[in-house]
Structure 1
Amino acid sequence: MTTVRTCPACSDRVAAGDVFCEGCGRPLPEGVRSAPVEHTDNVRTAPQQSMSGATRGGSGTPGGNGGRTGDGSRPGLVPSDGGPTAPQVSLNGATAGPAAGTGGGRSDSFTTQSMRRDSVTPRPAAAPPGTAPDWPPPSVGSSPVQPTNPDMCVWCPGRVSDGYCEKCGFLQPTGRDHVEVRTRAAVGVSDRGLRHRRNEDAMAIRVIAADDARAPGTVCAVVCDGVSSSPRSDEASRVTAETGATVLAEQIRRGADPREATGVAMTRAAEAVAGIAESLDSAPACTFVSAVVDPAAGTVTVGWVGDSRAYWLSGGPESSASTLLTRDDSWSEAMVQMGALSRDEAMRSANAHALIAWMGADSGEIDAHISTVTPTGPGTVLLCSDGLWNYYPEAESLTDAVPGAGTRPHEAARTYVSLALRAGGKDNITAVLIPVPGAQGGLRAEQD
């Protein structure tokens, strides 16, 4: 008979190994953390249909995006060449050592090499005594967010006591626990959540200068989610995200096509994470999702491996309808695509969230997925880890949860993370938002 353990502060049920209580966020005593206890994550995370086939002129796409605009339906997202979920770039051979072709139901695979990490921007100085700081607290560059007043909560205007907010009850973040990145064209927020010892997610954003001769204003962004069962998964995600975004920007500046640039970036990122492995039996691993938003061409190019996702969030009734841009590399999605199980059956399995593709020296050989679409704007591209989409898997639910996300991306990114925390915070949470202006929707000559 399994003993049920509860949090001594709020009596909420806790699982073996939990460091923080899901209900109140308080640290758990060692006796509770180490006690054997059964726990099942009951969050429904049924894989989504992608927008494959959502071409202009069509009426019944899987994502509900009809292509007609004259009959009251929204315009569709238009893949520029082929369905968005077809593998486009092979990462075969991008290994630091011999590839492992076996291991836990892996049907595809990746590899990588080492990289230099950028230094962290210094934290902002404390506010002068007597100054009432604005809320939300500001962030500087890619540094962890810190309130100008250390007694002020990062999540609400409440006051902090013993590391917790007296108003919302959230544990206050330190170091990499909570990171915010703000640029003129994109915003990202990443948080450890309520149940993990560390933040194993990572994000990186690069924006090409507005006066660049080849790609003015193009935004390149990457989100990675470390595989918790692998060693140094936090390092894996950070190395992969920084490498991917840096190479993406370099390729775009040199005039490479976004699809070509994405393929090169994913290969180099795979090499980077494979390069930090001590052996194939001790290989850090992570997922990968990227986006290149080209304001001149009006296109969005996404690349992915694993189950981190990219979404298009509609900005209004005349914009392309909200939809998922990726398809998970997961066991449950594979079973559904093969017709072996229904979605409900697949999600009831203990293997529902098992990855069949990832980046790491032990991933073997896999094909990267790359898709280019042309949305009718305005709207927002959202890159996120499963810490967010576990609670909001549907594109429409994400849009409804934070209306007008593209008009206030920093507040929206914070809100998405806060919503996931309030829903349970079972995993690390990362959300990167790239607003897409309405004028972009007019640049669709290739579709005419």
Structure 2
Amino acid sequence: MTTVRTCPACSDRAAAGDVFCEGCGRPLPEREGGAPAERSDNVPTAPQQSMSGATRGPVGGGGPGGGSRPGLVPADGGPTAPQVSLNGATRGPGTGTATPAAPAAGGGRPRGGGPEADPGRHGADSFTTQPIRRDSLRPLSAPAPSAAAAAPPPAAPPVPAPDWPPPAVGSSPVQPTNPEMCAWCPGRVGDGYCEKCGFLQPTGRDHVEVRTDAAAGVSDRGLRHRRNEDAMAIRVVAADDPRAPGTVCAVVCDGVSSSPRSDEASRVTAETGATVLAEQIRRGADPREATAAAMTRAAEAVAGIAESLDSAPACTFVSAVVDPAAGTVTVGWVGDSRAYWLSGGPRSSASALLTRDDSWSEAMVQMGALSREEAMRSANAHALIAWMGADSGEIDAHISTVTPTGPGTVLLCSDGLWNYYPEAQSLTDAVPGAGARPHEAARTYISLALRAGGKDNITAVLIPVPTEQGGPRAEQD
């Protein structure tokens, strides 16, 4: 017989795999019998339609002048040619590029910030971590002790019990003054988990906001996960740099939930990738060469934290280098985190997806073996065929450069956002004029994903491209 689960706080009905209540956002208790609730990490939502010809056609809205927007990608599809091999960057035997067949048991990866600084927008490497303010993170009140239970007088003066809920530190409502006290119940914390309720304790990564003069990003834990396994990093080359003034480098990584320490994997990979990107650009490297070097170093970094091939942290990777002088956008990726071009107007290149997922379902569609609907109905739909980690074997990273006609915005995001808005045009319509206020737009994207269900970690980084330079040509090898 199927048992109907309800939230003890608001009595709202909860699905079998929910960890948090969708009604009030509070954590749900374990099911009867002590078995923990299953995690709903895999949401089979349809990704984008075929990219072939998707960026050409009439201008949406039928504004004055009509006609067609300049194209952004070649007519034979998106820029997905492998560019740089990461063979040797990860530990373990090189198995070659994974074949796009249904992953067998044990094969394939099933889908499941930086230091604080002055919150002002200073330019390069300015980070701001915001406190957690959602209702879903309010601690549950402890039950009042029974008046009938009278304890015998103690032999020694009792140690006074700490107040519950614990007082907050600064502006964060979930960080108790006593780090050994659980943020969710009166239990004690050991190794990051409560010994009583078993919940992972909140960290500063539950909600992170990054702001610079040229880009902004927001990352959120979402409503169902117990921790944020996404990470992002932004670096901006100084405006007076002699080689690449004002160039923006950004990385978004999504930890693979089925791997251990996936939150650490995404953080190490994002920070390493963005740092190397900026270093290479400052030295005068071509954006494509810089992206290749950054992805190789990032792959080495995440492989280096693995204890063994059987316990290898893993994550996806997507980066962007926006050169305001040349008007070019260079993206690199492994996995299914995405880069989009969001059109800024009828004279700009049409909104487009700039990446193609390294997933089993996308591989089946591109091979013509299955329709997109058939592929997404498969149990392997969200399985990755490429990722960064010590157990990834030999993989080919993808690098592509496009020269859009601006203005517009480059969006890097994890699947916590694009699962709800897979189409480039739907992202553009959801937040019109995103490039004018990128920080506000990033917050809005996170809010939209939370309202849509928030079933995964959500990250969005926006880089405005105000230039009128460039053209419709895309470059790829």
The alignment's TM-score, normalised by the length of structure 1, stands at 0.80
Q: Does the 8 Å contact 2:41/2:456 carry over to 1?
A: no
Offset, 1:72: 1.4
Counterpart among 55, 58, 62 of residue 63 in structure 1: 55
Query: In 1, Cα distance between the equivalents of 2:472 and 2:372?
Result: 38
Q: Name 1:310's counterpart in structure 2.
A: 339
Q: Name 2:69's counterpart in structure 1.
A: 74
Offset, 1:62: 3.1
- Report matched runs for 1:88-99 at 5 Å: 88-99=83-94
* Bigger mean CA deviation after superposition, 174-183 or 204-213: 174-183
Q: Does the 8 Å contact 2:58/2:67 carry over to 1?
A: no
Q: Secondary structure at the match of 1:204?
A: strand
**What percentage of residue pairs aligned between the two structures are identical?**
77
1:351 aligns with 2:380: yes
For residues 395 and 416 of structure 1, do their structure 2 counterparts lie closer, same or farther at Cα, with a shift above 3 Å needed? same
Q: Name 1:121's counterpart in structure 2.
A: 116
Once the two structures are superposed, what CA deviation does each residue of 1:163-214 show, in whole Å capped at 9, x if it has no partner? 89xxxxxx98851100000000000000000000100000000000001111
For residues 10 and 405 of structure 1, do their structure 2 counterparts lie closer, same or farther at Cα, with a shift above 3 Å needed? farther
Counterpart among 385, 392, 398 of residue 369 in structure 1: 398
For residues 283 and 445 of structure 1, do their structure 2 counterparts lie closer, same or farther at Cα, with a shift above 3 Å needed? closer
- Report matched runs for 1:20-419 at 5 Å: 20-31=20-31, 34=35, 44-50=45-51, 61-64=53-56, 72-77=67-72, 84-99=79-94, 104=103, 120-121=115-116, 141-146=126-131, 154=133, 175-419=204-448
Q: Secondary structure at the match of 1:430?
A: strand
Q: Does the 8 Å contact 1:7/1:14 carry over to 2?
A: no
Q: Does the 8 Å contact 2:232/2:270 carry over to 1?
A: yes
For residues 366 and 65 of structure 1, do their structure 2 counterparts lie closer, same or farther at Cα, with a shift above 3 Å needed? farther
Q: Does the 8 Å contact 1:83/1:371 carry over to 2?
A: no
Query: In 2, Cα distance between the equivalents of 1:38 and 1:282?
Result: 20
Offset, 1:405: 0.3
Query: In 1, Cα distance between the equivalents of 2:259 and 2:322?
Result: 32
2:55 partner letter: G
1:441 partner letter: E
1:88 partner letter: Q
For residues 163 and 190 of structure 1, do their structure 2 counterparts lie closer, same or farther at Cα, with a shift above 3 Å needed? farther
Counterpart among 411, 416, 421 of residue 450 in structure 2: 421
Query: In 2, Cα distance between the equivalents of 1:363 and 1:221?
Result: 23
Offset, 1:64: 3.5
1:22 partner letter: E
1:441 aligns with 2:468: yes
Is the radius of gyration larger for structure 1 or structure 2? 2
1:442 partner letter: Q
Offset, 1:42: 5.7
Name stretches of at least 5 consecutive residues in structure 1 with no aligned partner.
Answer: 53-60, 110-116, 125-139, 147-152, 165-170
Offset, 1:340: 1.0
* Bigger mean CA deviation after superposition, 347-356 or 70-79: 70-79
Offset, 1:107: 9.5
Q: Does the 8 Å contact 1:47/1:327 carry over to 2?
A: no
1:96 partner letter: R
Offset, 1:121: 1.6
Offset, 1:444: 4.3
Offset, 1:443: 3.7
Query: In 1, Cα distance between the equivalents of 2:473 and 2:50?
Result: 25
Query: In 1, Cα distance between the equivalents of 2:427 and 2:78?
Result: 23
Query: In 2, Cα distance between the equivalents of 1:308 and 1:71?
Result: 33
Q: Does the 8 Å contact 1:123/1:144 carry over to 2?
A: no
Query: In 2, Cα distance between the equivalents of 1:107 and 1:37?
Result: 21
Offset, 1:10: 4.1
Query: In 1, Cα distance between the equivalents of 2:43 and 2:294?
Result: 35
For residues 161 and 23 of structure 1, do their structure 2 counterparts lie closer, same or farther at Cα, with a shift above 3 Å needed? closer
Q: Secondary structure at the match of 1:441?
A: coil
1:280 partner letter: L
For residues 161 and 369 of structure 1, do their structure 2 counterparts lie closer, same or farther at Cα, with a shift above 3 Å needed? closer
Offset, 1:144: 1.9
For residues 391 and 163 of structure 1, do their structure 2 counterparts lie closer, same or farther at Cα, with a shift above 3 Å needed? farther
* Higher share of residues assigned helix: 1
Q: Secondary structure at the match of 2:425?
A: helix
Once the two structures are superposed, what CA deviation does each residue of 1:144-179 show, in whole Å capped at 9, x if it has no partner? 213xxxxxx857xx9x97589xxxxxx988511000
Q: Secondary structure at the match of 1:417?
A: helix
Once the two structures are superposed, what CA deviation does each residue of 1:73-99 show, in whole Å capped at 9, x if it has no partner? 1111156xx961111111111123444
